[in-house]
Amino acid sequence: MAKSQRMTKQKTAILEILRSVESHPTAEWIYQEARKKIPGLSLGTVYRNLNQLRDNGEISELEFGSHQSRFDGNRDNHYHFCCTECGKVYDIHMPLIKSIENRARAASSFTVTGHRLEFFGVCNDCLEMKKAI
């Protein structure tokens, strides 16, 4: 069996957790969830499995500045919004802007095969919190 197809029990559990949520959780959160199913699981093992899943293209790692990395089990290209206050990452449900790739091609000599787009701002929860103060 190819390396990428080999699925350990831990890896399957981690993938299932990630596929079931839209919250783009941190490794720490995934660890807390996964250990309910796999007692004795270590945070190091979770990190190692997350790295492998990312390298195999099963999940993506989202990094926004100083905030902790978050993970996404949705493999389809889609856009994200990152709150600069709390670091939460939300999906933005909008059609992909494919024309931006043509513009990048026109502006460079590169073979552009895709793009990634991230938005920043303040989420509604943080906005409410600011109003309450």
Residue list 15-34, contact with Zn ion (CB under 5 A): none
3-state helix, strand, coil in the chain (%, to 5): 40, 15, 45
Buried b (16+ CB within 10 A) or exposed e, 3-39: eeeeeeebbebbbebbeeeeebbbbebbbebbbeeee
| Partner in contact with 72, chosen from Zn ion, Mn ion, none, beta carbon below 5 to 8 Å by kind | Mn ion
Q: Which is nearer to Mn ion, 58 or 72 (CB)?
A: 72
126 binds, among Mn ion, Zn ion, none (CB under 5 to 8 A by kind): Zn ion
Q: Taking the complex as a whole, how short is the minimal distance between the CB of residue 12 and Zn ion, in angstroms?
A: 32
Listed in sequence order, the residues at least 6 apart from 91 whose beta carbon sits closer than 8 Å to its beta carbon are: 22, 74, 78, 79, 80, 81
Contact partner at residue 53 from Zn ion, Mn ion, none, CB < 5 to 8 Å by partner kind: none
Residue 72 binds to Mn ion (criterion: CB under 5 A)? yes
- Does 91 bind Mn ion (CB under 5 A)? Our answer is yes
Other Cβ atoms within 10 Å of 51 Cβ, number: 13
Does position 85 interact with Zn ion (CB under 5 A)? The reply is yes
For Zn ion, the closer of residues 41 and 89 by Cβ is 89
CB nearer to Zn ion: pick between 85 and 101: 85
Task: Give the three-class secondary structure for 18.
Answer: helix
Q: How far is the CB of 86 from Zn ion (least distance, A)?
A: 3
